[in-house]
Structure 1
Amino acid sequence: MPHSTAALETDRLILRAPQRADFDDIYAMWSDLAVVRHVTGVAFTKEEAWARLLRSAGHWALMGFGYWVVSEKHSGKFIGEVGFGQYKRGIDPAFDQAPEIGWMLTSGSQGQGYGTEAVRAALQWADTRWPDDEIVCIISPENAPSLALARKCAFAPSRTTTYKGKPTVVFQREALSPKD
């Protein structure tokens, strides 16, 4: 059964459902080596960016959660994506049952506090949906800005592992209502 996408609003940002019209912005962001160097290490092709957009929409339709497109409230300018996924990554030990948050900002939008603002809005939404669940994220140990953002948002490193042959830090944020 399809789920609707919750729109979120902060002082400076709007987080909304991904739309077909977002493709050019998503492709531009994911094909920018400065943006993806610590995530994929290579620029996305148009095909990969299209698959990313479809995966975001599919998460909302099938799982009731996914990624939002993030834009500036006053200008409507695309600044990135933030949201939750369930990816079946095969990381050992597995965390496939925990919601996994991720974020990506265009290079021109970094360093302005937008990431923190968007991630905190997404986490507030998640806290009402999954108060009993920890939330995880994975970050390259070389990605200092994302490591700092995770810590600002109450994530703590839980272990280092390997993902796609590269070192990866798994962060977790404890549940609001820990299970007994």
Structure 2
Amino acid sequence: MLMPELIVETTRLLMRPPQMQDFEDLYAMWSDAEVVHHVTGYPLTREDVWARLLRSFGHWAAMGFGHWVVTEKANGSFVGEVGFVQYRRGISADFDRAPEIGWMLARRAQRLGYASEAVDAALHWADVRWPGSDTVCIISPDNVESLRLGNKFGYRVDHEGIYKNKPILVCRRATNHQK
């Protein structure tokens, strides 16, 4: 049963913690080489996506936050995932303490304004939950669209780094963020 305080609604979208029945939609998205190119660099297997889904359940249970599954309110169609995690990536102690935002949209849901709408809603949720707290994200330097989206919501490059042998930009949305 979903707790109402964990559900976020926008004009067009419904964001809720994942459920078992989301697996096939998540697999379709995470196994699409074009969609994951800048994030993993390769399509995920069913086993990989299953592990992600279970990790997401655990995040919500242990931390009280995680990735929401995003769907269209009008018809329930899967849009993607947006939310916050703390993966303890080892990028830096400062990074690992802050909630890390992430977003991933299915190919059919891209370039429709859904990412902006969902990230905006997630950040409003975070600002209420963690007032005055910075949030962070990592973005591939080649991912122009994600860099543009992050910048729109106040994420600025803090420093460059390497994560899993790939270059990344470590971005921070400071407490005194400006859109």
Give the TM-score taking structure 1 as reference length.
0.93
Aligned to 1:59: 59
Q: Is the 8 A contact 1:137 1:172 kept in 2?
A: yes
1:102 matches 2:115: no
Give how far 1:132 is off: 2.2
Aligned to 2:14: 14
Aligned to 1:119: 119
Structure 1 runs, 4 residues or longer, greater than 6 Å off: none
Aligned to 1:153: 153
Identity between Structure 1 and Structure 2 (%): 56
Q: Which runs of 5+ in 1 are unaligned?
A: none
1:1-180 pair list within 5 angstroms = 4=3, 6-92=6-92, 94-176=94-176
CA distance in 1, matches of 2:162, 2:17: 31
Flag the 1:162–1:94 CA change in 2: closer, same or farther, 3 A. farther
Amino acid at match of 1:60: W
SS of equivalent residue, structure 1 residue 96: helix
Amino acid at match of 1:37: H
CA distance in 1, matches of 2:28, 2:149: 23
Amino acid at match of 2:138: I
Give how far 1:176 is off: 4.9
Residues 148-179 of structure 1: CA deviation (Å, up to 9, x unaligned): 110111111111111011110011111159xx
What is the root-mean-square deviation of aligned Cα atoms in Å? 1.5
Q: Which runs of 5+ in 2 are unaligned?
A: none
SS of equivalent residue, structure 2 residue 96: coil
CA distance in 1, matches of 2:12, 2:37: 27
CA distance in 2, matches of 1:14, 1:92: 33
Q: Is the 8 A contact 1:155 1:171 kept in 2?
A: yes
CA distance in 1, matches of 2:152, 2:172: 12
Residues 96-154 of structure 1: CA deviation (Å, up to 9, x unaligned): 10000000000111111100100010000000111121000000000111011101111
CA distance in 1, matches of 2:90, 2:97: 12
CA distance in 1, matches of 2:153, 2:176: 13
Flag the 1:10–1:120 CA change in 2: closer, same or farther, 3 A. same
Aligned length: 175
CA distance in 2, matches of 1:69, 1:153: 20
The structure richer in helix per residue is 2
Amino acid at match of 2:7: A
